[in-house]
């Protein structure tokens, strides 16, 4: 089983400066490799350059520029070139599939925030001072950096990444062979229905409140973004006030992200602790939050009919604020660690099917919160009905598997 551990770094002033230079040099390497690929393809020969060809040039680049590119780990620079190669592979895959291609872009200093070391011991070393009470990670060109390790690391450290978030630095460990920690069996099976009024509702009728973190910070975020918009979007050099305004917006978004992540972890822990099997709807969040197609007016050229885009935008914002996809990922990981089972089931008509008589009709869903069957008159909370139907479909899955 693979797991990732994220810890805060506590670098000294000189180490923080070296970390910033390491990011800048890797960003320069990424942009230079991208420029080389662009120029080669724009040539009349239409030459395509592969990762292997660019990786073979690294030794020459490091010899030519020993004070910058030569300072850092050779393996980490190869990882940066592989990152660019993955971007091109995804670009060609989207072109082949007929999707919006999205050609790889040049990275600005503020948008290149991660350096990966593919192997522990090759340019980096986790717990480099094992005889010291303080945990440290050694990075080539930086030194032994103090780590705020708030929990033990299990398994074998496979890759190490250094990431900058705002003014803080983090180390991310990808570990394999992490042992599972099974919880005692409870004999309980539950179905859950996701929503925006309530974050989720269980088949037993319990509601998990939706904290709406984005809505709670909307006023402060709007004020910060309005202040940021007074500065030019494209400029070669930002002023001190411009940088401060950008940091304020970034801090608010980071706070909302941390709050949402903390809420999801706590909700998933509660479900995993109390139930052996958790069933949920298989939701296509990307499709659900897609903007409605425009409706041209047949009677007036260049005009469009109302398509409900404004109302849909509010619903999309609420769905994205709830973060259902992120929650399902956390729930699956925690279930794997605790030897629990998570079953995604078909989501079609879960909130329109009567759990008593099985009648399916759009009219059964009277409102966002009310369900009343037009066939048998069964009356209940709509989210509770959806959770009951998810549970019954999970039972069919279990019976089929058995």
Burial 91-113 (b: 16+ CB within 10 A, else e): eeeeeeeeeeeeebeebeeeebb
Pairing mode, strands 277-281 and 189-194: parallel
Beta strands (DSSP E) in 119-274 are 124-126, 136-139, 143-148, 156-165, 168-176, 189-194, 198-202, 207-209
Q: What is the pLDDT of residue 182?
A: 92
Alpha carbon distance 39, 239 (integer Å): 33
CA dist., res. 125 & res. 139, Å (int): 7
Least confident of 48-52, 224-228, 305-309, 345-349: 305-309
The predicted pLDDT at position 228 comes to 94
pLDDT range class, residue 349, cuts 50, 70, 90: confident
Percent of the chain residues topping a pLDDT of 70: 99
On whether the CB atoms of residues 81 and 54 are closer than 8 A, the answer is yes
CA distance 166 to 248: 10
- How confident is the model at residue 280, as a pLDDT? 93
DSSP codes joined into one string, 42-108? HSTT-----HHHHHHTHHHHHHH-TTTGGGS-HHHHHHHHHHHHHHHHHHHHHHHHTS------PPP
Does residue 186 have a pLDDT over 80? yes
Report residue 402's pLDDT band, with 50, 70 and 90 as the boundaries. Answer: low
Chain segment 76-135, per-residue pLDDT in tens: 999 999 999 999 999 999 999 998 899 999 998 788 999 999 999 999 999 999 999 999
Tokens 């709509």 identify what position?
382
Q: How many CB atoms lie within 10 A of CB 189?
A: 17
Give 202-219 as a DSSP string: ETTS-EEE---HHHHTHH
Residue 25: its pLDDT value, please?
Answer: 96
pLDDT at 60: 94
Predicted structure pTM score = 0.87
What is the pLDDT of the chain when averaged over all its residues? 91
Q: Which of 32-36, 222-226, 344-348 has the lowest mean pLDDT?
A: 344-348
Mean pLDDT of 157-162: 96
Neighbour tally for 114: CB within 10 Å: 16
Q: What is residue 362's predicted lDDT score, i.e. its pLDDT?
A: 87
How far apart (Å, rounded) are the C-alpha atoms in residues 137 and 289? 41
User: What is residue 136's predicted lDDT score, i.e. its pLDDT?
Assistant: 96
Summarize pLDDT for 27-74 with one digit per residue, the tens.
999 999 999 999 998 888 888 899 999 999 999 999 999 999 999 999
pLDDT of residue 401: 66
Q: How far apart are the first and last CA of the chain?
A: 25
């Amino acid at each position: 089983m693979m797991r990732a551990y994220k810890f805060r770094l506590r670098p000294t002033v000189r180490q923080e400066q070296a970390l910033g230079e390491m990011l800048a040099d890797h960003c320069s390497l990424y942009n230079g490799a991208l420029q080389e690929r662009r120029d080669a393809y724009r040539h009349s020969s239409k030459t395509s350059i592969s990762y292997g060809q660019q990786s073979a040039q690294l030794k020459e680049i490091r010899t030519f520029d020993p004070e910058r590119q030569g300072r850092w780990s050779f393996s980490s620079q190869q990882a940066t070139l592989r990152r660019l190669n993955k971007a091109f592979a995804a670009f060609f895959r989207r072109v082949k599939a007929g999707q919006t291609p999205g050609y790889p872009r040049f990275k600005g200093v503020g948008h290149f925030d991660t350096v990966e070391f593919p192997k522990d011991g090759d340019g980096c070393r986790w717990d480099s001072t094992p005889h010291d009470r303080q945990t440290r990670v050694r990075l080539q060109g930086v030194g032994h950096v103090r780590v705020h390790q708030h929990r033990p690391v299990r398994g074998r450290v496979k890759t190490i990444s250094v990431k900058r978030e705002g003014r803080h630095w983090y180390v991310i460990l990808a570990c394999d062979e992490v042992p599972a920690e099974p919880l005692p069996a409870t004999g309980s099976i539950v179905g859950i229905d996701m929503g925006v009024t309530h974050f989720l509702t269980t088949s037993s009728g319990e509601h998990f409140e939706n904290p709406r973190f984005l809505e709670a910070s909307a006023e402060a975020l709007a004020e910060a973004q309005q202040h940021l918009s007074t500065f030019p979007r494209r400029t070669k050099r930002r002023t001190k006030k411009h940088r401060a305004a950008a940091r304020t917006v970034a801090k608010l978004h980071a706070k909302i992200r941390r709050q949402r992540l903390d809420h999801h972890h706590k909700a998933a822990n509660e479900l995993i602790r109390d139930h052996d099997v958790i069933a949920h709807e298989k939701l296509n969040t990307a499709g659900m939050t897609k903007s409605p197609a425009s409706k041209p007016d047949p009677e007036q050229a260049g005009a469009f009919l109302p398509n409900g885009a404004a109302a849909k935008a509010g619903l999309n914002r609420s769905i994205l604020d709830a973060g259902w996809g992120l929650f399902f990922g956390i729930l699956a990981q925690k279930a794997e660690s605790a030897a629990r089972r998570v079953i995604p089931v078909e989501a079609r008509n879960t909130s329109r099917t009567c759990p008593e008589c099985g009648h399916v009709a759009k009219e059964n869903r009277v409102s966002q919160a009310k369900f009343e069957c037009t066939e048998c008159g069964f009356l209940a909370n709509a989210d509770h009905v959806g959770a009951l139907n998810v549970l019954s479909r999970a039972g069919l899955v279990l019976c089929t598997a058995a």
